[in-house]
């Protein structure tokens, strides 16, 4: 008998040895398993760090004009990315613009996502209001975010608040449909009926059992939506509905630079490239997060 066979046979009078199941890799390891996802994750971390520490990383003040260096090309001494039409350092403006753009996106996703999640949970849990809430969400889905931005800017005036409100309203129905679909699946589970049988209140059941089991699709959608919101927010600012001069914001910087596209293209091109990188990084990370959280793909 071979050594492997003798190891698998238990001694007389003793219980057979149990082999522990293989340990599943953690979420971060599953997330970074693909090289593209790892690069996207590193880019997101780098972009978030640049936005958070913009006041420490910026070489100059974002509002410091130097007309002598107006429209300086990239590579000019002391201006690695050049200067804008007012002679302001592009590196500083990009750091602060990234900060404002990502704050707008974060506020929109949080406000719209929380409201949409609440609507989705209520629609899934209370069948009497399900039809009414979902028809209301369908009405909201029929209006594009740009139209919301125009309407809110007409009421409150153009600015960051108008963009955040418009993108939040546009996010609510999308999140509500995602959460409702996930919550309806959870509602069919036996432990939900067991919790009801114990007399657990509605609010406690939703917070303790329903919401935690719907976090995976919520996180995936929020990550993917963040990239979309960045793009939409920059478009609204490009149209003049968002951040107003002299505030640095990527969409507003691209809008300002279009006036000098033939003389100093870097003023418009560099903010557009940064918007592209941000949106691409969050979209790729969202796709990788969806695969990492899918139990059918776990190894």
Tens-digit pLDDT profile for the chain (299 aa)? 444 444 444 455 555 555 554 455 566 777 777 888 889 999 999 999 999 999 999 999 888 888 888 888 998 888 899 899 888 999 999 999 999 999 999 999 999 999 999 999 999 888 888 889 999 999 988 888 888 888 888 888 888 998 999 999 999 999 999 999 988 888 887 877 787 788 777 788 888 878 888 888 898 899 999 999 999 999 999 988 888 888 899 999 999 988 888 888 999 999 999 999 999 999 999 888 887 776 555 54
60 lies in some domain:
no
**By residue range, what is the domain housing residue 46?**
33-55+86-293
* Confidence (pLDDT) at 243: 86
Nearest to 84 by CA among 106, 60, 101, 105: 60
Q: Which residues pair with 89 in a beta bridge?
A: 83
Backbone angles phi, psi at 89, to 5 degrees: -60, 125
Q: What pTM value is reported for the model? A: 0.84
3-state secondary structure of 83: strand
Q: What's the structural domain count of the chain?
A: 1
Q: Is residue 28 part of a domain?
A: no
Question: Residue 265 falls within a domain, yes or no?
Answer: yes
Residue 198 lies in a domain: yes
Tell whether 74 is covered by a domain: no
Q: How far apart are CA 220 and CA 217, in angstroms?
A: 5
Is residue 80 one of the residues assigned to a domain?
no
Whether 275 maps to a domain, the answer reads yes
162 and 152 Cβ atoms separated by less than 8 Å? yes
The one-character DSSP state at 76 is B
Q: Is 46 left (phi over 0), alpha (psi -120 to 50) or beta?
A: alpha
Long-range contacts of 152-159 (CB under 8 A, 24+ apart): 153/241, 158/240, 158/241, 158/242, 158/244, 159/242, 159/243, 159/244
Distance CA 39, CA 144 (A): 32
Supply the CATH number for residue 134's domain.
1.10.3720.10
């Amino acid at each position: 008998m071979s050594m492997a066979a003798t190891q698998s046979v238990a001694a007389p009078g003793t219980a057979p040895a149990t082999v522990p199941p293989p340990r599943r890799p953690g979420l971060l390891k599953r997330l970074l398993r693909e090289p593209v996802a790892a690069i996207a994750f590193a880019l997101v971390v780098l972009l978030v760090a640049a936005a958070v520490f913009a006041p420490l990383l910026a070489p100059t003040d974002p509002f410091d004009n130097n007309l002598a260096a107006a429209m300086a090309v990239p590579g000019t001494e002391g201006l690695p990315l050049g200067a804008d039409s007012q002679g302001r350092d592009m590196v500083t403006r990009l750091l602060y613009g990234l900060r404002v753009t990502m704050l707008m996106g974060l506020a929109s996703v949080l406000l719209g996502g929380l409201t949409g999640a609440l609507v989705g949970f209520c629609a899934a849990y209370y069948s009497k209001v399900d039809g009414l809430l979902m028809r209301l969400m369908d009405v909201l889905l029929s209006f594009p975010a740009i139209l919301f931005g125009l309407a809110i800017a007409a009421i409150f005036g153009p600015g960051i608040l108008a963009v955040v409100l418009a993108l939040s309203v546009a996010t609510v129905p999308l999140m509500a449909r995602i959460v409702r679909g996930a919550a309806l699946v959870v509602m069919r589970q036996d432990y939900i009926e067991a919790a009801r049988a114990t007399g657990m209140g509605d609010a406690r059941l939703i917070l303790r059992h329903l919401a935690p089991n719907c976090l995976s699709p919520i996180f995936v959608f929020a990550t993917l939506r963040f990239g979309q919101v960045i793009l939409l927010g920059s478009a609204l600012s490009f149209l003049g509905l968002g951040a107003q001069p002299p505030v640095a914001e990527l969409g507003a910087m691209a809008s300002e630079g279009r006036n000098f596209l033939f003389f100093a293209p870097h003023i418009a091109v560099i903010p557009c490239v940064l918007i592209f990188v941000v949106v691409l990084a969050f979209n790729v990370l969202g796709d990788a997060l969806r695969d990492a959280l899918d139990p059918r793909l776990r190894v």
